[in-house]
Amino acid sequence: MTQSTTQTSSEENPEVPLSPGLYIVATPIGNLGDITMRSVDVLSRCDGVACEDTRVTGKLLKHLGIGKPLWRYNDHSEERDRARLVQTMLDRAVVLVSDAGTPLISDPGYRLVQDAREAGVPVTSLPGPCAAVVGLTLSGLPNDKFLFAGFLPSKEQARVRALEEVASVDATLVFYETGPRLAKSLQAIGTTLPGRTVSVARELTKMFEECRTDTPNSLIRHYTESPPKGEIVLMIGPPARHVASEVEVDTLLREALQSDKASQAAGKVAKATGLDRKTLYARAMALRSE
């Protein structure tokens, strides 16, 4: 088992150099004002910064008036580059940042942290912006339980399979998304998880920030008229837990029966409502023979 330290004593005293180790620093996802004072302090006093793209991080450091050696790193970096970086952390303070947001969250860093911990390097994580959390807090969807699932696959079948896998999870589902793929994802959500409320949070913390929470069909209509630009967090509300009325159940079953067999229709409506699949199957058969 590996153990990480909590805040180091040198971090508490701005007069002394930072203790050697790995410092994970979250950076702004749009609004440059969203960097914390502690992050600026650690960036100012570290020995070097491991980053995805030296141009992107160079711009941020320039904005903060900080000059530091920048070392390009991502999880596909060669084993020996990672080993060298971990070796450096044994006697120097190394910051890890990604292009934007919290490193490791759909961003590089996992292998580096794992190797650093195994090598006994003290690891400190400085909290800050994360698009998934900003989107979740804006959406109005339940947030007592949520599942962050990264990016949906780009291929259609894999996307539907990924949605089916999480369909019965009783929590808000949070995905990262891109503008060009949004319509297809909304379409897949509408058919795979019928009856769910969906939220699209776009350009968070930036000038054209927006967050729309609606049915997949309404969102598809809106974004067909105004194609979405920029970065997106896509969220799906949990399955309805209220006891759906007979009329609601019949509507959902009739909709599903337009494209599916009775057993598939029953499965979909069971996922959407939490109702018993066998009872729904019997009702679907009855509706089909009406």
- Binding of ligand SAM at residue 107 (CB under 6 A)? yes
At 172 the three-state DSSP class reads strand
Report d(CA 139, CA 149) in Å as an integer.
Answer: 17
Span of 16-24, 73-81, 174-182, 220-228 interacting with ligand SAM by CB under 6 A: 174-182
Candidates 171, 198, 233, 244; binder of ligand SAM (CB under 6 A) is: 233
Question: Over the range 193-215, which residues count as b (16 or more CB within 10 Å of their CB) and which as e?
Answer: bbbbbbbbbbbbbeeeeebebeb
- Are 41 and 51 spatial neighbours (Cβ–Cβ below 8 Å)? no
Half-sphere exposure of 198 (CA within 13 A, CB side): 24
Candidates 100, 149, 252, 284; binder of ligand SAM (CB under 6 A) is: 100
- Binding of ligand SAM at residue 188 (CB under 6 A)? no
Residue 103 is encoded by which pair of tokens? Answer: 């490193």
Candidates 205, 213, 215, 251; binder of ligand SAM (CB under 6 A) is: 205
Q: Cβ 219 to ligand SAM, closest distance in Å?
A: 15
Burial (CB < 10 A; 0-12, 13-18, 19+), residue 79, is exposed
**Cβ closest to ligand SAM, residue 54 vs residue 264:** 54
**Cβ closest to ligand SAM, residue 88 vs residue 199:** 199
| Sign of torsion over alpha carbons 286, 241, 168, 161 | positive
Q: Cβ 126 to ligand SAM, closest distance in Å?
A: 13
Report d(CA 268, CA 81) in Å as an integer.
Answer: 48
Span of 166-174, 202-210, 213-221, 248-256 interacting with ligand SAM by CB under 6 A: 202-210
Candidates 50, 51, 174, 232; binder of ligand SAM (CB under 6 A) is: 232
Which residues contribute to the site for ligand SAM (CB under 6 A)? Answer: 29-30, 98, 100-102, 105-107, 130-132, 176-178, 201-206, 231-233
